[in-house]
Chain A
Amino acid sequence: LAKTTQPISMDSYEGQEVNITCSHNNIATNDYITWYQQFPSQGPRFIIQGYKTKVTNEVASLFIPADRKSSTLSLPRVSLSDTAVYYCLVRGAGSYQLTFGKGTKLSVIP
């Protein structure tokens, strides 16, 4: 299982773009990169998933460089409700196990 490393915490002001970078140096060829958001006492919520280059949905963008050893979750114009813990996970296409590492606690300041 590829290990991930991401900042423990980040602060941002409302309305700013937030970029959270995750390092996964030993990612395997068939591994996907997935990001989840978790609010206190709630289950993690799927945000976005990608394999290479760039993926965008209605809430975020995911940038993955060619070597795939890192990825960056981009949240445009954050609001107070985006205050949460964000987890970067790496998972093989045929793997049943999804392992959470240490997430990034994002605090959005008014």
Chain B
Amino acid sequence: AAGVIQSPRHLIKEKRETATLKCYPIPRHDTVYWYQQGPGQDPQFLISFYEKMQSDKGSIPDRFSAQQFSDYHSELNMSSLELGDSALYFCASAQGLRGSPLHFGNGTRLTVT
């Protein structure tokens, strides 16, 4: 079965640079979520989209922005990168609401040097 695809798998950036992470949801899934997981920490919710509109916002820094496109893929844009942004970034997709489970990708590991 098709899964959530994230690219790139690994990304190395320097401080103050920008990064763009991409997420391709499971076909027919209309909801996308972004999570950040630092070393030894639990996943932290950043932002979500439903039908290309932002649906909820968590602890996403102002330096980050995201959007969901017409084909339902999503991109997380990160600017003025800091060392503390080094983490695993997960995207998850789901079909609509009504408590449908989230399906996660295997993440993008961002390292900021």
Contacts and interface: CB of A to CB of B under 8 A. Distances in A.
Interface residues of B, number: 27
A96 B50 contact: yes
Contact of B43 (A34, A92, A100): A100
Interface residues of A, number: 24
A45 interface: yes
Interface in A9-27: none
B42 A101 contact: yes
B106 A100 contact: no
A94 B98 contact: yes
A83 interface: no
A97 B97 contact: no
A23 to B, nearest CB: 17
Contact of A96 (B97, B105, B107): B97
B29 interface: no
Given A98-B92, A102-B42, 19 more contacts: A41-B88, A41-B109, A42-B106, A43-B92, A43-B105, A44-B104, A49-B99, A93-B98, A94-B98, A95-B97, A96-B31, A96-B33, A96-B50, A98-B33, A99-B45, A100-B35, A100-B44, A100-B45, A103-B42
